[in-house]
Amino acid sequence: MPDHQDHALAALMAAKPLYLKSSSLSEQIYQLLRELILERKIPGDSEMSESRLADELQVSRTPMREALVRLAGEGLLVRRGARSYAVRAVDTKEYFDSMALRELLECEAISKAVERIDQAALETLASELDALSKGEHDESSHWHFDDRLHNFIAEASGNRVLVKMLVQLRANARLFRLHSPLHRQKENHEEHLDVIDALRRRDAQAGTAAMRQHLHNLRNEVLKALSGG
């Protein structure tokens, strides 16, 4: 395992230590590694050895193996050997296919969530968005908010299968953009606010239009970057 991965693991462990509870240790490792992957702290060419990771985190191999198998099952990792993995690469076609399906499912989620949305929770998200748009925050803060908002809407739809599918599709999009120089925080904030405002009014039509435009803009930015624009 390359040294840069060791540094990333050490830094995150210092900030977020594992609390060794046997019943949830595998879950803690899974969440830790998932965050490292989606926050670009484990490069795609890094080998993730089960034994080396277990040693780094000072845990037994069984919960480490369970966490790695789970991440592979969700499409975040691919096997490189009997006991090693790497971050999965998502190509351009898979990205655009995922985004097309996201549009269908996220618009469906909005239409179902409008009448079920928790208004107090929505206002909390609106306040967080306002704080993000005004202050200086690292990239992970913006990504975590993006994740919370989209998951909040999906969960409010009441369709658990839809929630699981969107988690996977959003992970695909995130993996595609891991090495991308694209940054559109200001635009994301404005588009997210349009979605939140529609949900405040319980306006399903405006909400689906705002979500569709948001996803179109994300795709168009990638198309522009790929064309050299």
Query: What digits encode the pLDDT tens for the residues 36-63?
Result: 888 777 776 677 889 888 888 888 899 9
Report domain extents, the chain: 3-87, 92-226
Q: What is the CATH number of domain 3-87?
A: 1.10.10.10
Given a contact cutoff of 8 angstroms between Cβ atoms, the answer to whether 113 and 184 are in contact is no
pLDDT at 180: 58
Q: Give the chain's residues under pLDDT 70.
A: 1-23, 44-45, 137, 178-183, 229
Q: What is the pLDDT of residue 183?
A: 61
How high is the pLDDT of residue 159? 96
Residue 84's DSSP bridge partners are 49, 81
Provide the pLDDT for residue 181: 52
What is residue 18's predicted lDDT score, i.e. its pLDDT?
Answer: 53
pTM of the entire structure?
Answer: 0.81
CATH of 92-226, one of 1.20.120.530, 3.40.50.300, 2.40.240.20, 3.30.1960.10: 1.20.120.530
For residue 3, the model assigns a pLDDT of 47
pLDDT at 21: 52
